[in-house]
Structure 1
Amino acid sequence: MINLLKEVARGKRGARDLSMEESLQAAEWIMTRKATPAQIGAFFIAERIKMESVEELEAFVTVLRKHAERAPVRKGIDCAGPYDGRKKSFMATFPTAFVLAAAGLPVTLHSAPSLPPKWGTTLLDLLLEMGIDAQRMQKDALIRVAEATGVLFVPAEMWCPPLKELRSIREELGMRTVLNSAEKLVNYSGSPYIVYGVYHNTVFERMSKLIQNLQYEKALIVQGPEGSEDMFIDRATRTYIVDGGEPRLHVVNPDEYGLETPLPEKENGWTAADQLRVTEEVLRGEAHMAFTNQVMLCGAVRLHLAGRVGSVEEGVYTCKSLLDSGAALDIFRTWCGAMLGKEQLI
């Protein structure tokens, strides 16, 4: 490990990217804790300064997948948002998951307790607010819920133990590491489609190459609110489509679909209770139009990515119908009941 550290930590001019073989070795030593905490911390900081190469990122994803529990359920879409959570924006991906499931597209959501650098509200916090402690659930129980409802929730640190073991080091560092990118690509359900959030547009090309190497059938990289996979509803969103050939920039403009809506002002940050309340309002048809429109746009783009509709416009109409009819709400209620152990699944 010391020899590898010498290569990535020689300073701005002397540091070099590791080869794939070297990267795999470093990732394995870190994930199995054969490297010391000091060495792990030094490696993470050196990589942050140097900036991780595609090969280094791929190696960490490969080793995380090796040490993770994975369970192919049904062909669906992986919604990969930031594990450091959200502070200033609505987590539209959560209600969107039930709209997609109502449309027949299985969804995988995954999360962990909040992490640096943002320390925001996570999907796991929403479940805890609902009285669901997914971290105490057996894997088989989560899979049964997914098979019945189309929505799989994965507590990442339970299904991928190295992430839990490295938490204390990440918390002490207090900043982004290579794991902030890699942990979202474990692909717990073997999904052929992924929608992946990034914070800066400078990483579009690098992440596009990485996702191509990981052989997803189709992917959408989104520069959404707070680095999330959600679309903005009050302005256009920059995305990259990765579909076999050359990745291409695609700007999603809500105004093209008659959905652009100013967001209501919110003085304080978004708590888990706020997120859950608005989620339920959207699914019941009682939310501010901005949040309903955001869910419809996110759902439409994801349905189109997975080939379930012929256009984003068709996807908008599909999502609106599923919200208006109560189909998405029914899936949500069934899912909640099953996750709480109150509803018998056949």
Structure 2
Amino acid sequence: MSAVFRELLKKIGSGPHTGRDLTREEAKTATLMILRQEATPAQIGAFMIAHRIKRPTGEELAGMLDAYDELCPRLSSLGGESEVVVLGTPYDGRSRTAPVTVLTALILAASGLSVLLHGAEKMPTKYGLPLVQIGQDLGVDFPAATLPKVQQMLEQTGLGFFYTPSHFPDFTSLITYRDEIGKRPPFATLELIWSPYGGNYHLLAGYVHPPTEHFIQEALRLRDVEKYTLIKGLEGSCDLPRDRTAIITCQDPGNFDQRERLKIHARDYGLGGTEVPLTSRDELLAQINTTLEGKPSPLWPAVLWNGGFYLWRCGKVAHLPDGIQQAQRLLEEGQVATKLAELKGL
């Protein structure tokens, strides 16, 4: 048993009256001991559920991210003023609504932006459809790519996928615990705002519960992340909703105290409607392929809505309607399909 870890566990697990939050350094130490399996299984499980009940602070999340940075290799900077768009999406996938994140990433890459995704296979607690399996269905075997290959993909095509189990094997030690405790631990929040890229980046991250946004903002402030976009998205993803108002927070460099709060609705741009349900993997693939052919599909409004917004937010167009028009043009002219073909050809 680790006596050091026991003291950290006692600190967060003593209840609302005597319990205390961890410092950033303590959170880093606890995370390192968990990832290295220096704490016992009982201690790790107890820590995860106690931290889940207590809820992590921004300072604790910052320390946990520090630990990830210490143990995990990063992709090298593309150099200069290049900015990579990092899409943080829940590792336990989607189970209710059809994800369009991969199509959004392809649209951004087809426009000349650099985009990095990261993730794993089906994960607890939801065991939903992960992005990596959508990529495989489209003919891109992201898990098979070595880290140098991912770097090459990012540099040559503008789109890379960091397959966490391969490139950060310490991460896999958490999977069994996540399943056995039956609830998402704070590591699930950390994954939304973690970046395996070593250069300048623009973080896009989704969330579900409003308190989570506050914790994320504080962690990013402490970590000096200067540019991010937080979205109250579908199932905690970066996918903007179409059936309700999209709530978005935008942070730009040098403007930590003056974040922009956006409330926009797809119906105001002719793209509102009911969210497309995720009925089966095969049906989703058929819908994606139809969209890639530049033909209207059930996903079409959601893809234009998301692609258009992110083209605008990432500075490719001056106005949101222009972004929607550009997303449609990139699809109809075959440039998005061409980008996918480039990835498959590497």
TM-score, normalising length: structure 1: 0.90
Q: Report the Cα offset of residue 132 of structure 1.
A: 4.3
| The one of 7, 15, 18 aligned to 2:11 | 7
What does 1:34-49 align with in structure 2 at a 5 Å threshold?
Answer: 34-49=38-53
Q: Write the letter of the residue equivalent to 1:219.
A: Y
Aligned-pair identity in percent equals: 28
Q: Report the Cα offset of residue 126 of structure 1.
A: 1.6
Corresponding residue number in structure 1 for 2:256: 245
| The one of 171, 180, 184 aligned to 2:179 | 171
Cα deviation digits, residues 237-275 of structure 1 (max 9, x gap) = 1122223323343112112322223445x5xx4433333
Task: Please say if residues 294 and 333 of structure 2, whose CA atoms lie closer than 8 Å, have aligned partners that are also in contact.
Answer: no
Task: Please say if residues 220 and 240 of structure 1, whose CA atoms lie closer than 8 Å, have aligned partners that are also in contact.
Answer: yes
Q: Secondary structure at the match of 1:249?
A: strand
More deviation, 40-49/279-288: 279-288
| The one of 101, 116, 128 aligned to 1:108 | 116
What does 1:162-241 align with in structure 2 at a 5 Å threshold?
Answer: 162-189=170-197, 190-241=199-250
Name the CA distance, whole Å, in 2 between partners of 1:321 and 1:304: 14
| The one of 288, 291, 300 aligned to 1:292 | 300
| The one of 39, 50, 56 aligned to 1:52 | 56
Q: Secondary structure at the match of 1:110?
A: strand
Task: Please say if residues 229 and 248 of structure 2, whose CA atoms lie closer than 8 Å, have aligned partners that are also in contact.
Answer: yes
Corresponding residue number in structure 2 for 1:341: none
Query: Unmatched 5+ residue regions in structure 1?
Result: 339-346
Corresponding residue number in structure 2 for 1:342: none
Q: Compared with structure 1, are the counterparts of its residues 164 and 92 closer, same or farther at alpha carbon in structure 2 (3 Å cutoff)? A: same
Cα deviation digits, residues 103-127 of structure 1 (max 9, x gap) = 1111111111122221100012223
Counterpart check, 1:85 vs 2:96:
no
Query: Unmatched 5+ residue regions in structure 2?
Result: none
Q: Report the Cα offset of residue 206 of structure 1.
A: 1.9
More deviation, 301-310/313-322: 301-310
Q: Write the letter of the residue equivalent to 2:98.
A: F
Q: Compared with structure 1, are the counterparts of its residues 128 and 101 closer, same or farther at alpha carbon in structure 2 (3 Å cutoff)? A: closer
Cα deviation digits, residues 200-253 of structure 1 (max 9, x gap) = 123222212222333333211111111111111233211222233233431121
Corresponding residue number in structure 1 for 2:23: 19
More deviation, 241-250/25-34: 241-250
Corresponding residue number in structure 1 for 2:315: 307
Q: Compared with structure 1, are the counterparts of its residues 211 and 277 closer, same or farther at alpha carbon in structure 2 (3 Å cutoff)? A: farther
TM-score, normalising length: structure 2: 0.90
Q: Report the Cα offset of residue 131 of structure 1.
A: 5.2
Name the CA distance, whole Å, in 1 between partners of 2:200 and 2:179: 30
Q: Write the letter of the residue equivalent to 1:157.
A: P
Task: Please say if residues 125 and 272 of structure 1, whose CA atoms lie closer than 8 Å, have aligned partners that are also in contact.
Answer: no
Q: Write the letter of the residue equivalent to 1:231.
A: L
Corresponding residue number in structure 2 for 1:161: 169
Q: Write the letter of the residue equivalent to 1:82.
A: P
Task: Please say if residues 102 and 135 of structure 2, whose CA atoms lie closer than 8 Å, have aligned partners that are also in contact.
Answer: no
Corresponding residue number in structure 1 for 2:128: 120
Task: Please say if residues 12 and 49 of structure 1, whose CA atoms lie closer than 8 Å, have aligned partners that are also in contact.
Answer: no
Q: Write the letter of the residue equivalent to 1:271.
A: S
Q: CA RMSD in A?
A: 1.9
Corresponding residue number in structure 1 for 2:33: 29
Q: Secondary structure at the match of 1:108?
A: strand
Name the CA distance, whole Å, in 2 between partners of 1:214 and 1:306: 21
Q: Compared with structure 1, are the counterparts of its residues 263 and 24 closer, same or farther at alpha carbon in structure 2 (3 Å cutoff)? A: closer
